[in-house]
Amino acid sequence: MSRRNFTDHALVQLTLMRMREFIREPEALFWSMIFPLALAAGLGIAFRNRPPEVLKIAAVTPRLAEALRQEKLLDVTQLPPELAEQFVRTGKVALVAEPAADGSVSYRYDDTNPEGRQARMLADQAIQRASGRQDPVAGSDRIMREPGSRYIDFLIPGLIGMGIMGNSIWGLGFSIVDARRKKLMKRIVATPMPRPYYLLSFLLWRMILLPVEVGVPLGFGVWVFGVPLRGSFAGLAGACVLASLAFSAGGLLLASRVRTIEAASGLMNMTMVPMWILSGVFFSSQRFPDLVQPVIKALPLTAVIDALRANMLQGAGLAQMAQQAAVLVAWLVVCFGLALRLFRWR
């Protein structure tokens, strides 16, 4: 007659094993928590919004230099012709403006260089205006620099989605293959433990870890870069939970039969690398040809990233995330069903 309490339950003990194996593995902690943060910080800084770039150009006469200095985006130096020629050839200036014999202005620049072309446009505009040109149509500018439309705003949901995918697939895949390789799985299956508990303990552990693995990059983005959270918390949480379950089922399927870590790594990389590229983590997946768009939309990583961006950046409601939710549920059902049929318990 033993008194049993909550922590004596097999499911609790199995989940505790997952937790202990994770937190006692410093490398796992690094790759799943610290690395994405470092990545977000690095990319956030690299792609921070810089003031518009000022182009360096040269002019060979004081009059031309005077006229060109009216344009704020040009940094004009007055140089003797030979030196100006040398500067433009070595790229120290983007363009040289010099007077031609007939009173016109000639521009010397490399037209394959975007800076050269831009300098040509700005310089010519400044010269024309200085000579009295009136623009027939007036234009006004609305500058887009507010939170929600910057690169970091685009990036954070991508990194969250990528993190959920990586942690779920690696986490489950490696643990399962490792337990199988060490015959620990076979040993556990030789006890009266109900087999679903074994798989369920992985999902439980994923759910416990999810708030941390989402919260860390999200909190970082909001706190450091002011990334907006315009949608509902329910939508955000729902998308993350669904994604975590779908990718866990994927990890289970990938690990359902393999016996070696090498084979498992291969399978996981083969699955994840295309999604890193196609699903728009770092740049919009819209850039791929229309032909492959339906395929890209059907990928689980695209679904979760699209849902997160819609929620966070556009404040989309649950109804607008229905399509992505459906994609994730489909992956969850198919992968889990297949994994249960294929799973090798020894």
* 287 is an interface residue for another protein by CB under 8 A: no
Shortest Cβ 184–another protein spacing (Å): 6
* 5 is an interface residue for another protein by CB under 8 A: no
* The one segment of 6-14, 32-40, 227-235, 307-315 that binds another protein by CB under 8 A: 6-14
The span from the CA of 31 to the CA of 29, in Å, is 6
* 9 is an interface residue for another protein by CB under 8 A: yes
Backbone angles phi, psi at 52, to 5 degrees: -55, 140
CA angle 127, 130, 134 (to 5 degrees): 100
DSSP string spanning 154-213? HHHHHHHHHHHHHHHHHHHHHHHHHHHHTTHHHHHHTSS--HHHHHHHHHHHHHHHHHHH
Shortest Cβ 193–another protein spacing (Å): 4
* The one segment of 7-15, 63-71, 86-94, 241-249 that binds another protein by CB under 8 A: 7-15
DSSP string spanning 103-150? S-EEEEE-TTSHHHHHHHHHHHHHHHHHTT---SS--------STTSS
When binding is defined by CB under 8 A, the residue of 133, 259, 344, 346 that contacts another protein is 346
* 66 is an interface residue for another protein by CB under 8 A: no
The span from the CA of 319 to the CA of 254, in Å, is 31
- Closer CB to another protein, 60 or 179, in the complex: 179
What pairs with residue 78 in β-bridges? Answer: 59
* 12 is an interface residue for another protein by CB under 8 A: yes
* The one segment of 14-22, 76-84, 105-113, 304-312 that binds another protein by CB under 8 A: 14-22
Per-residue binding letters, 161-200, with another protein (x by CB under 8 A)? ------------------x--xxx-xxxxxxxx-------
Shortest Cβ 168–another protein spacing (Å): 20
- Closer CB to another protein, 188 or 277, in the complex: 188
When binding is defined by CB under 8 A, the residue of 10, 241, 334, 338 that contacts another protein is 10
Residue 90 is classified by DSSP as: T
When binding is defined by CB under 8 A, the residue of 13, 70, 113, 260 that contacts another protein is 13
Cα distances (Å, whole numbers) of residue 42 to 35, 46, 155, 208, 229:
10, 6, 11, 28, 21
Shortest Cβ 21–another protein spacing (Å): 5
Q: Rule CB under 8 A: which residues touch another protein?
A: 2, 8-10, 12-14, 16-17, 20-21, 24-25, 179, 182-184, 186-193, 346
